[in-house]
Amino acid sequence: MKRILLISMLLVIAISISFSQIAYKKGDKVGSLMLGLGSFVYEPDATSTVPPLSVAADWGYNENISVGGILSYTASKYEWNNVWGNYGYKYTWSYIIVAARGAYHLDVLHDSKIDTYGGVSLGFKIASTSETYTGDWGLIPHTTAASGGGILFGLFAGGRYYFSPNLAAQAEVGFGIALLNIGIAYKL
């Protein structure tokens, strides 16, 4: 009976120690590279597309809060030429996000390999488009272009699963360049 009690106590202590070693801590520096799925800025008829890509960096400000930044980019091109080659049309667009972000890390799953977090981002979005008509449209061939920008406010939630002390798989949902971003994270 004493042996079972001793083993039980050791097991409880071991589990408590493993739960106290969370994946996120003050001073952590994490860089991420993510691919977006379910983009808000998508051209279904595009002849070529740069998928939504994001690079993010986070720094552990204290035991629960990280601060950092994100840079995201996506672009598409639609091109059409008639079979005889005497006129055509090309439309291109790009979308860039540059934002600061902050996250609250919460050890929801009590697993030392999983970092769960939610946060906000505040920054700037830049969109640009260009249309080019070539050949004999009954008009002079010409190009028109426009660009614009504005303030971006986004909410996100995510998690990282650490395969090793420094390398993790990462997933984030929220408002930004895409509804879902998946990728890898590296802790410096």
In tens, the pLDDT along 39-95 reads 766 666 777 788 899 999 999 999 899 999 999 999 988 888 776 667 788 888 899
Task: For residue 8, name the pLDDT band (cuts at 50, 70, 90).
Answer: very low
CATH of the domain at 142: 2.40.160.20
Q: What tokens appear for 47 in the block?
A: 């002849």
Domain that holds residue 40: 2-187
- Number of domains comprising the chain: 1
Q: Where are the beta strands (DSSP E) in the chain?
A: 29-39, 48-60, 65-81, 87-105, 114-135, 142-162, 167-174, 178-187
CA distances (Å), origin 93, targets 55, 77, 125, 163:
20, 7, 13, 37
Q: Is 146 a residue whose pLDDT tops 50?
A: yes
Instruction: Supply the pLDDT for residue 17.
Output: 40
Instruction: Supply the pLDDT for residue 67.
Output: 97
Give the alpha-carbon dihedral of 43, 80, 93, 37, to 10 degrees.
30
Strand, coil or helix: what is 133?
strand
Beta bridge partners of 170: 160, 183
Which run of H or E residues covers position 18? Answer: helix 2-20
Q: Of 99 and 79, which is predicted with more confidence?
A: 99
Q: What percent of the chain has pLDDT over 90?
A: 48
Strand, coil or helix: what is 5?
helix
Query: What are the backbone dihedrals phi and psi of residue 5, each rounded to the nearest 5 degrees, phi first?
Result: -60, -45
Burial class (CB in 10 A: 0-12, 13-18, 19+), 32: buried
Q: Of 88 and 186, which is predicted with more confidence?
A: 186
- For residues 171 and 74, what is the distance between their CA atoms, to the nearest angstrom? 18
- For residues 90 and 84, what is the distance between their CA atoms, to the nearest angstrom? 16
Instruction: Supply the pLDDT for residue 30.
Output: 95
* Residue 158 contacts residue 180 (beta carbons within 8 Å): no
